[in-house]
Amino acid sequence: MSRDAQAPLFHPFESGDMPVPAEGSRGLFLAASSKVRPPSEFNARLTLVQGFRPDFLALQRDGRAAIPQADGAEFDFALVLAGRHRGENEARLAIAIARVRRGGLIVMAGGKSDGISSLRKRLQKVLPLGGHMAKNHGEVLWLERGSDAVQFGAALTSLQAASPLVEQRFRTAPGMFSHEHVDAGSRLLAENLPTGLKGAAADFCAGWGYLSVALAERAPAITAIDLFEADYASLEAARQNMATLVPSMPASFHWLDLEGEKVERKYDVAVMNPPFHQGRAADPGIGLAMIRAAAAGLKAGGRLFVVANRGLPYDAALNTAFGKVTELAADKTFRVWLARR
C-alpha cells in the first residue's frame, strides 16, 4: 500500500460527496491497513483482507480481525487500497466487483506516484465511474456495481494484461516478486545447488516456489521441503507450482513473517533469496533479519545457500551467524554463498 493512499480513501464520506454506509451494512476492505481507519461515524461491519503477513499482524495488534484472502459475497460495498502494481490493483477491483451485490458501491484510493490516476483513466473508458477526487498526493475513485456482473467482469478483464506461465510452467500473478520472469539471482543460486543434498529442507522467502522446485529437481535425496513466505498469494502460487511440477516431493507451506515470527523446526538444508526493499526504499536490515532467522532454523552442521545483490552488506552477518561461509558463485550483480552452522 502506498503511504499516499491513506488519507483519500474515506475523504468522499467525510466531505459529504458520498453517504456514509448505513449502520450494520457489510463492507469488504481489500489490502486493509492498520494505518487506515474509518471515521468515527462509519459504523458498517468491515471484513478486512490483508495477505501480507507483517501488515496482517499489525492489524491483529491493533485489535482488528483480518483474513488473508477475500471470502464471502453480496457485500454492500467494497473499499480498496491500491498499491504499486497495476495488475494487482486491477485484480483487486475484479474481486470487489465479484463480491459486491448489485447496486453496491466500490471505492478505491491510491497514491498518484503509484499510478492511481492512470488506472482511473483506463477504468472510465470501460466502466461508468460515479466520481473521483484528489487529496494529499493521492486520488480516490468510486463506482456503483451494475446489474450485470458479467459485463463488469468483462470490462475489467479488458484492462488486464495476460499473465502467461513463467518459463511455460510456473504460475504467478502481478504483485508477486519477479512475477514475469525468474529472478536472475534465484537462477544463479539454483544453478549452484549441489545435487547430493539430503535431509529436511526449508525455503525461506519462498515466493512462488521457484527455488523449492529447483531444489526438488536437482537434489532428489531431499526428504521434504517446508516453504516460508510472508505474501499469502505467493505462497498459494508456490503450493500450486509444487503440486504440479514436483508432486512426489513432500512439502508444507507456512505463511510467516521471518522478521518477527519464529521458525519452529530445524532443517538440514535451507535456500534463500531474501528481500531487501520496503516499498521503493532499499532496506538491507530486512535481509540481515532473514539471515538470523535462517541460522536459527538450521541444525548444527546445517547448510544455507543464499543469494544477494553484490552491494548488500551481508558478509559480516553471515560470518557472525555461521561457523563457515564460502562464496560459491558470483556475477556482475549477485553473489551466492554457502553458510554452514
**Predicted confidence (pLDDT) at residue 275 exceeds the cutoff of 90:** no
Domain assignment present for 166: no
122 and 58 belong to one structural domain: yes
- Please report the pLDDT score of residue 94 as a whole number: 86
Residue range 169-189, pLDDT digits in tens: 999 999 999 999 999 999 999
277 and 214 belong to one structural domain: yes
231 and 324 belong to one structural domain: yes
Could you tell me which of 115, 102, 105, 96 has the C-alpha nearest to residue 2?
115
15 and 68 belong to one structural domain: yes
Domain assignment present for 62: yes
Domain assignment present for 322: yes
Number of domains in the chain: 2
pLDDT band at 1 (very low <50, low <70, confident <90, very high): very low
8 and 146 belong to one structural domain: yes
The last residue of one of the domains, among 121, 140, 157, is 157
- Please report the pLDDT score of residue 265 as a whole number: 95
Domain assignment present for 178: no
The last residue of one of the domains, among 157, 176, 192, is 157
Query: Radius of gyration over alpha carbons of the chain, in Å?
Result: 22
Q: 324-330 and 334-340 as β-strands: parallel, antiparallel, unpaired?
A: antiparallel
- In angstroms, rounded to a whole number, what is the distance separating the alpha carbons of residues 236 and 244? 12
Residue ranges of the alpha helices (H) in the chain?
A: 11-15, 53-61, 86-99, 116-123, 149-157, 184-191, 210-218, 232-245, 284-296, 315-321
Q: Which residues of 111-131 are buried (b: 16+ CB within 10 A; e: fewer)?
A: bbebbbbebbeebeeebeeee
Domain assignment present for 169: no
85 sits in the region (left: phi over 0; alpha: psi -120 to 50; else beta) called: beta
34 and 106 belong to one structural domain: yes
103 and 212 belong to one structural domain: no
Domain assignment present for 173: no
Domain assignment present for 198: yes
- In angstroms, rounded to a whole number, what is the distance separating the alpha carbons of residues 270 and 249? 15
Side-chain half-sphere exposure of 119, counting CA atoms within 13 A: 30
- In angstroms, rounded to a whole number, what is the distance separating the alpha carbons of residues 258 and 29? 26
The last residue of one of the domains, among 139, 157, 175, is 157
**Predicted confidence (pLDDT) at residue 146 exceeds the cutoff of 80:** no
244 and 319 belong to one structural domain: yes
What is the reported pTM?
A: 0.92
Region 127-137: mean pLDDT is: 87
pLDDT band at 128 (very low <50, low <70, confident <90, very high): confident
143 and 189 belong to one structural domain: no
- In angstroms, rounded to a whole number, what is the distance separating the alpha carbons of residues 100 and 72? 9
Identify the three-state secondary structure at position 71: coil
**Predicted confidence (pLDDT) at residue 151 exceeds the cutoff of 80:** no
214 and 336 belong to one structural domain: yes
Beta bridge partners of 119: none
309 and 194 belong to one structural domain: yes
Contacts of 204 (CB under 8 A, 6+ apart): 228, 258, 263, 270, 271, 272, 274, 290, 293, 294, 297
Task: Indicate which CATH number applies to the domain containing 293.
Answer: 3.40.50.150
**Predicted confidence (pLDDT) at residue 277 exceeds the cutoff of 70:** no
Residue range 323-334, pLDDT digits in tens: 999 999 999 999
Region 7-23: mean pLDDT is: 88
Q: What is the 3-state secondary structure (H, E, C) of 188-246?
A: HHHHCCCCCCCEEEEEECCCCCHHHHHHHHHCCCEEEEEEEECEHHHHHHHHHHHHHHC
Q: In which domain, by residue range, is 28 found?
A: 3-157
Domain assignment present for 9: yes
12 and 139 belong to one structural domain: yes
Region 63-77: mean pLDDT is: 96
**Predicted confidence (pLDDT) at residue 320 exceeds the cutoff of 70:** yes
